[in-house]
Chain A
Amino acid sequence: MATSTRKEDKQDERAQDAADEQASNEQAEKQQDDADAAAMANGQPDGEASDDDQPDAESDDIAEQAQDEKPQGEASGEDDSDEEPQDANDESPAGKPIDVPGEASLEVEFNTYPANSYAHDDLGFEEDDLIEIYRNMLLQRRFEERCRQMYQRQKISGFLHLYIGQEAVSTGSIQAIGLGEDTVITAYRDHGMALAMGMEPDACMAELFGKETGVSKGKGGSMHFFDAERRMFGGHGIVGAGVPLGAGIAFAHKYRGDDEICLCFFGDGAVNQGAFHEAANLAGLYDLPVVLICENNQYGMGTHIDRAMAESKVYRHAVSYDMPGGVANGMDVFSVNKAVRDHVEMAREGQPSLLELKTYRYQGHSISDPAKYRAEGELEGQQEQDAIARLHKYMLDEDLASEDALDEIDDEVKQETKDAIEFAEESDLPDEEAIYDDVYSEDDYPFLMR
């Protein structure tokens, strides 16, 4: 793992890079500002905004520009601007020759977490923990199988994106954080994450049914599950739009100086959005305590990642943002857990990172997608490495649970899911007046159009 050395190198490189960038940006910005100031000067309406500051601003800029153009090393004693530190020009590399190395190469190490590489005791899990992990993954699966059924019975409407196949990602990740303290944000395929975070199946199903007892009071639906108490920051429907939010959630941790970190999940499709790259850059720039986790299920809707991403090894994008990258097998809950733990540790030390969890969704993009774009045998091949079946086998092989005990868990989660449906059925739809609730902070927002 090259993490620690990278972190130290980074400081020096950053200082130099920052200086270089500042120099070139300053020139460009000053030209822009001069243009702005000139335009403003002739654009003033008669009789108002006689802006005596504009000429000042303009002349300041010209003075600054003139200083920048001086060869480096010349005295800055003529600097008559009291806004700039006296030694600003000495530190500025303006005037230094452009530095292009004679040879350039890039060698980067990444953390990898293949399947079947970790045993439960390596990770400090006891038998009881394993039972809970198994139960949680199975709950997600049974819950979503019922969701599909309820959609077909028209109890659930709108978009329904199922998580089936990806359960090791949610459960393995949440087992690596302080639940209720650390923060989590994810995209629209969010039911699994909600259940992994301990959100009640009853309230989750009720949300899908559009009931007032739902996790978002029937206002969010499938794609917008929230739970402030468990620090689940949503459920975000627009591809990539949650990633800047994740950076901001982490920013608040750093700003307050608390010890918490943010897990920011997004799909492989989001990596092709500008929002991801802007957020990753800001995270790297500000050293935000965030783990950017790409849940790579290999398809953005119906388009395979190889047809959508020029560099489709997602973890390699970390290099662009000066952060460690890692890749784990997302079909093995132990590999996921180990990977997320390592990356959470970095985040707690103020080092953001990018972690790719390679997984697979068994269903189509949404309930209406028959997924005919898959190659023949592709789904079946993926299902052979199913995360739940893997853990099932592991526990039997290692003599950690009996077949009967695991069957009993299945019966329990099936019952829990049935109960959730009953709860959702019996709950009321929101009161019609609720359409006006929670638009603004004021209850009697005065000019809401009705």
Chain B
Amino acid sequence: MPELQLREAIRAAMTEEMERDEDIFLMGEEVAEYNGAYKVSKGMLDQFGPERIIDTPISENGFAGLGLGAAMNGLRPIIEFMTFNFSFVAFDQVVNNAPNIRYMSGGQFKLPIVFRGPNGAAGQLAATHSNSTESLYSNFPGLKVVSPSNPDDAKGLLKTAIRNDDPVIFLESELMYGLKGEVSDEDDYTIPMGAARVAREGEDVTILAHSKSYHVAMEAAEALDEEGYDAEVIDPRTIKPLDLETIARSVKKTNRLVVVDESNPFASFASEVTHQIQDEAFDFLDAPIARVTAPDTPAPYAPNLMDEYMPSAEEIVAEAKRVMYVE
């Protein structure tokens, strides 16, 4: 299996799908002549030409809506947000048109569209450029939300997202674009949405973490291992649909859960999972469910404050020990 960077895996998914289906096009800021702000679409203009790899003005509400209209009229757009912070400029289109038109038209119009781009904090970019949007977008029925942690999942899930007939929010990460990993070179490699991956099996505590946080969770699991505790790490891969079954099964085994998510904590993905699991596995829990999230503050700039802001392996270890009632 070839080793690809995350950006290359995403590019491979888009390229393969565009070779397969002429109705797919890629549109966004700097995707064509600039080769992508983060070089995700590098070379795609050369391969597919300006009719299918389309630069836009800085006009998110306009081109997000344009993508939706094109989807209503039979195409399958991939709309790149340079980062999901800028999707807020297109909020009306993303949350009030994309998820509602199928429903309001009584199923007459489908909207096969992928909104993709990097999500979450990426260093010292301060509050406006550090938003995590998974909790927000998964609150809107009609949207699907995908957030992979590695190149292989990214490729398989993006191909699935592109083929899906509903609007999909596909969340990537600036900091992971260079992350390398083995990627399947199967001809038609897809991964279904709503299937979590048990990345590390363990008996003592379950840690649930996606995207960047997954890697921090794995680091924490290693640290716990050194102290003799056996953590199970689950990567949900898709936020919505959520593979509640796999998470619940694990919790029924370990009886403890730590949810890691770099989003702000109030009304978040972590709080939703906490509710779902207490509902599903209340009698199996030996401790309250713990969360490791960003604090309930905007993202700061100063380096020490930003370190404090992001979930760390130390915090995860501490929370895991707290729910295991060990020092």
Residue of A nearest to B5 (CB): A53
* Chain A residues in 8 Å Cβ range of B102: 438-441
Chain B residue numbers with a CB within 8 Å of A438 are 102-103, 105-107
Given contacts A33-B37, A279-B65, contact A40 B106 (CB under 8 A): no
Give every chain A residue within 8 A of B62 (Cβ-Cβ): 244, 247, 275, 278-279, 281-282
Residue of A nearest to B93 (CB): A244
Contacts of A129 in B (CB 8 A): none
- B142 engages A439 (CB within 8 Å): yes
Q: A377 on the interface (CB 8 Å rule)?
A: no
Indicate which residue in B66, B105, B125, B194 contacts A226 across the interface (CB closer than 8 Å): B105
In contact, B122 and A219 (Cβ under 8 angstroms)? no
Docked-complex contact B175 and A44, CB < 8 angstroms: yes
Interchain CB contact under 8 A, A40 and B123: yes
Partner pick for A248 among B35, B70, B110, CB 8 A cutoff: B70
Does B121 interact with chain A (Cβ within 8 Å)?
yes
A340 to chain B, nearest CB (A): 20
- Known contacts: A228-B105, A282-B62. The answer to whether A53 contacts B123 by CB under 8 A is no
A61-85: which have CB < 8 Å to B? 83
CB–CB B178/A43 < 8 A:
no
Tell me whether A447 and B107 are in contact (CB under 8 A): no
Q: In the bound complex, do residue A53 and residue B68 qualify as a contact, i.e. CB atoms below 8 Å apart?
A: no
Q: A29-B30, A49-B175 are in contact. Are A226 and B71 (CB under 8 A)?
A: no
Contacts of A170 in B (CB 8 A): none
The closest CB in chain B to the CB of A286 belongs to B54
Q: Specify the chain A residue showing the minimal Cβ separation from B29.
A: A29
| Chain A 195-215 near chain B by CB (<8 Å), digits 1 or 0 | 000000000000000000011
State the Cβ distance, A444 to closest chain B Cβ, in Å.
11
Partner of A441 from B64, B73, B165 at Cβ < 8 Å: B165
Q: Is the CB of B165 within 8 A of A445?
A: no
A417 within 8 A of B: no
A219 CA to B61 CA in the complex, in Å?
25
Cβ-based interface call for B318 (8 A): no
B240 with A447: CB separation less than 8 A? yes
Interface-side segment among A139-147, A250-258, A309-317: A250-258
In the complex, whether B324 has a CB less than 8 A from a CB of chain A is no
Q: CB distance A249 to B69 under 8 Å? A: yes
Closest to A52 in B: B178
Given contact pairs A216-B106, A217-B107, A251 touches B61 in the complex (Cβ within 8 A): no
> Are A253 and B93 CB-contacts (below 8 A) given A216-B105, A437-B107, A440-B142?
no
Most chain A C-beta atoms within 10 Å of own C-beta, residue among B66, B107, B219: B66
Question: What residues on B are CB-neighbors of A274 within 8 Å?
Answer: 61
| Cβ-based interface call for B1 (8 A) | no
Q: Is A285 part of the binding interface, using a Cβ–Cβ cutoff of 8 Å?
A: yes
In the complex, which residues of chain B have a beta carbon less than 8 angstroms from the beta carbon of A445?
241
A36, CB-defined interface residue at 8 Å: yes
A130 at the interface (CB under 8 A from B): no
Q: Given known contacts A281-B62, A282-B63, A437-B107, is B175 in contact with A40 (CB within 8 Å)?
A: yes
Distance between A185 CB and nearest chain B CB, rounded to angstroms: 8
Binary contact readout A150-162 vs B (1 if CB under 8 angstroms, 0 otherwise):
0000000000000
Q: Which of A116-124, A233-241, A363-371, A382-390 contacts B (4 or more CB under 8 A)?
A: A233-241
In the complex, A243 has a CB within 8 A of chain B: yes
Q: Which of A39, A46, A241 contacts B124 (CB 8 A)?
A: A39
**Is residue A16 within 8 Å, beta carbon to beta carbon, of the partner chain?**
no
Contact B59 A278 (CB under 8 A): yes
By a CB distance below 8 angstroms, the chain B residues around A219 are 103-106
Per the bound structure, the CA–CA distance linking A282 and B28 in Å amounts to 12
Residues of A within 8 A of B65 (CB): 241, 243-245, 247-248, 275, 278-279
Q: Among A46, A246, A255, A281, which residue has its beta carbon within 8 angstroms of that of B57?
A: A281
The reply to whether A446 and B123 contact each other, CB–CB distance below 8 Å, is no
Cα–Cα, bound, A214→B105 (Å): 10
Asked if A48 and B179 sit within 8 Å, CB to CB, the answer is yes
Q: Say whether A183 faces chain B, with CB atoms less than 8 Å apart.
A: yes
Do B194 and A241 have beta carbons less than 8 Å apart?
Answer: no
Given A47-B219, A238-B92, A275-B92, A248:B71 Cβ within 8 A: yes
Give the docked Cα–Cα distance between A234 and B177 (Å).
Answer: 39
Whether A108 is near chain B, meaning CB under 8 Å from some CB there, is: no
Say whether A101 faces chain B, with CB atoms less than 8 Å apart.
no
Report the minimum CB–CB distance from A90 to chain B (whole Å): 16
Q: How many whole Å from A167's CB to the nearest CB in chain B?
A: 24
Are A251 and B166 interface neighbours, CB within 8 A? no
Does B74 make an interface contact (CB < 8 A)?
yes
| B176 contacts the other chain (CB 8 A) | yes
CB pair A234 B70 closer than 8 Å:
no
Which of A36, A46, A241 meets B92, CB within 8 Å?
A: A241
Q: Does A220 lie at the interface of the complex (its beta carbon under 8 Å from any beta carbon of B)? A: yes
A234-B101 in contact given A39-B124, A282-B66 (Cβ < 8 Å): yes
Min C-beta distance of A240 to chain B, whole Å: 8
Query: Which residues of B sit under 8 angstroms from A52, Cβ to Cβ?
Result: 178
Is A54 an interface position by the 8 A CB rule?
yes
Whether B70 pairs with A251 at a CB distance below 8 angstroms is yes
Q: Please name 15 pairs of A and B residues whose Cβ atoms are closer than 8 Å in the assembled complex, sorted by A.
A: A29-B34, A40-B123, A40-B174, A40-B175, A43-B121, A43-B123, A43-B124, A48-B216, A233-B72, A244-B66, A245-B66, A247-B65, A438-B107, A445-B241, A447-B194
**Apart from the given pairs A53-B178, A445-B241, 13 other A-B contacts in the complex at a CB distance below 8 Å:** A29-B34, A45-B215, A45-B216, A48-B179, A48-B216, A51-B177, A216-B108, A236-B97, A241-B97, A243-B65, A248-B68, A256-B75, A274-B61
* Leading 7 A-B pairs by shortest Cβ distance: A43-B123, A248-B69, A244-B65, A278-B62, A51-B178, A217-B106, A252-B73
